[in-house]
Amino acid sequence: MQFQYYIPTRILFGKGQLNRLHEQDMPGKKALIVISCGTSMKKHGYLKRVEQQLDQAGVEHVLFDKILPNPIKDHVMEGAKLAKDNGCDFVVGLGGGSSIDAAKAIAIMAANEGDYWDYVTGGTGKGLPIPNDPLPVVAITTTAGTGTEADPWTVTTKTETNEKIGSGYDKTFPVLSIVDPELMMSVPPRLTAYQGFDALFHSTEGYINKDANPISDIYALKAIELIGKSLAAAVDNGSDEQARADVALANSLAGMVESISGCTSEHSYAHALGAFHPDLPHGAALIMISKQYYLHFAKSGACDDRLVDMARALGKKDATCAMDFVEALEQLQKACHVDELKMSEFGIQKENLNQYVTNARETMGGLFVQDRIDVTDADGLAILEGSYR
C-alpha cells in the first residue's frame, strides 16, 4: 500500500463563513478579484460582500470580470497582465469552477513570462517547468461542482486548436477557500444538477481510478453518499439549506479525491466535447456520456466490487452486482430531471463523434492511463455513439 496525501488548503466551511474572510491572514496587500462575465456575482451581491471583506482587512483590489463558462487562454493572459500592471500580489477566485480555475491559471502567469500554454502538459502544450511560484490564490466558491477549492487543478481551453486541458501542481492549491452554502442558494435547478453530477463523477472516477487509496476511498464514498441523499432535493428546492450544505460538502470532498486519486477517461471525453462546443456545460457533457461509460466498466468485470460499493453509497442499499450502479445512476438523473439531455441539442453531430475520441486522447491522454481497463478509441467511439441522441 503506497500513496501520497497533500492538501494544504485551509477551508472555512459552513453558512456565513464569507463573513469571516476579513479575519483571516491575507496572503498579500492587493488582490485581483476574478469573476465570470455573467451577472450573478454582482446581481446577488456576492462581489460587493467580498469587496467589503477585503476593505475591512485593509486589502486593495482590482476586478477582472471576463471569465467564460469554459475559461480560455486569452483571458488567462489578459487577467495576468492586469494583475502585473496593477501590482497585485494575490488572486481571489469568486464564483464557480470556471472563475476559480481561471484564478489559478492567472496566478501562474502573473508571476511568469511567456504564454500559458508553455507550461501546459498535453496537446500542443510545451510542458515546461514553471520558473516562479504562482501568486497565492483565495477561492470563494458559489457553486458545488468542480471541487476546485480543494484541489490544484485548473482547466483551460486554447480556442485556436480546440484543446481543453487540465493542468496544475502543488503550488496551485488555494491557500484559503471559503465554502459557504448560503452563496449557492441562487444557483438555478438545472445548473445545480449539472454541477452536482460533476462532483459525483469526480468521486466515482476517483474510486475506480488506479490511484485510489484508503483515504481517497473514504472521501469518495462519503461524497457519493451525500449526493445520492441530497442532490435531487437541492435541485427541487434551492432554498433547502441542509441539501445545499450536503452537496457543498460532497463537492469539497470530491476535490480532495481529485487531489489524492484522480479522474479517468470519462473526463477526457467530456472535455473534448466542451473544447469544440464551449456553450456545453461540463456537467451536462458528463451526464450525457455517463450511462454508457459506466455500462462499459460494468460489462468488463474489472471493478465489480467498487461499482457495488458506489451503488450502495448512492442509495441502492441492496446492490449486489456492477449493473446496480448503472441503475442507481439512471434513477438519480431522473430524480434531477436531466435524464433526457441530448447531444444534438448542443450542436454535436453524430458524424463528428470520432474527432472527440481523437481529441480526448491527444489532449488529456494521461487520464486513460488511470483506467482499470484499457479504454480503446473503438471503445470510446462506442460509448459516444451509444450516448448520442
In tens, the pLDDT along 314-366 reads 999 999 999 999 999 999 999 999 999 999 999 999 999 999 999 999 999 99
Q: Which cell goes with 383?
A: 460509448
> CB-based contacts of 339: which residues, under 8 Å, 6+ apart?
330, 333
Q: Which cell goes with 216?
A: 481517497
Query: Which pTM was predicted?
Result: 0.97
The Cα 24–Cα 59 span in angstroms is 12
The Cα 236–Cα 325 span in angstroms is 23
H helix runs in the chain, sequence order: 40-43, 46-56, 73-85, 97-109, 189-208, 214-236, 241-260, 265-276, 282-300, 304-314, 323-335, 353-364, 377-387
The Cα 332–Cα 315 span in angstroms is 9
Q: Which cell goes with 54?
A: 477585503
C-alpha 200: how far from chain center: 10
pLDDT of residue 388: 98
Residue 250, helix vs strand vs coil: helix
The Cα 358–Cα 354 span in angstroms is 6
Alpha-carbon radius of gyration of the chain: 20
| Widest distance between CA atoms in the chain | 59
The Cα 93–Cα 102 span in angstroms is 8
pLDDT of residue 363: 96
Q: Measured between alpha carbons, how far is residue 181 from residues 194, 233, 243, 248, 346 in Å? A: 17, 14, 9, 6, 30
DSSP 176-230: EEEE-GGGGTTS-HHHHHHHHHHHHHHHHHHHHSTT--HHHHHHHHHHHHHHHHH
Are the beta carbons of 18 and 53 closer than 8 angstroms?
yes
Torsion over CA of 130, 136, 141 and 145, rounded to 10 degrees?
A: 20
Sequence letter at residue 292: Q
Per the document, the length of the chain is 389
Buried b (16+ CB within 10 A) or exposed e, 240-257: beebbbbbbbbbbbbbbb
The Cα 214–Cα 191 span in angstroms is 31
* Angle (CA) 25 8 176, round 5°: 35
Average pLDDT of adjacent 10-residue blocks, the chain of 389 residues? 92 98 98 97 98 98 97 98 98 98 98 98 96 98 97 97 97 98 97 98 98 97 98 98 98 98 98 96 98 98 97 98 98 98 97 98 97 97 98
Place of cell 514553471: 130
pLDDT of residue 2: 84
Sequence letter at residue 168: G
Q: Which cell goes with 333?
A: 438523473
pLDDT of residue 1: 78
Are the beta carbons of 261 and 216 closer than 8 angstroms?
yes
The Cα 148–Cα 238 span in angstroms is 22
The Cα 202–Cα 358 span in angstroms is 22
Residue 63, helix vs strand vs coil: strand
Three-state SS sequence of 76-91: HHHHHHHHHHCCCCEE
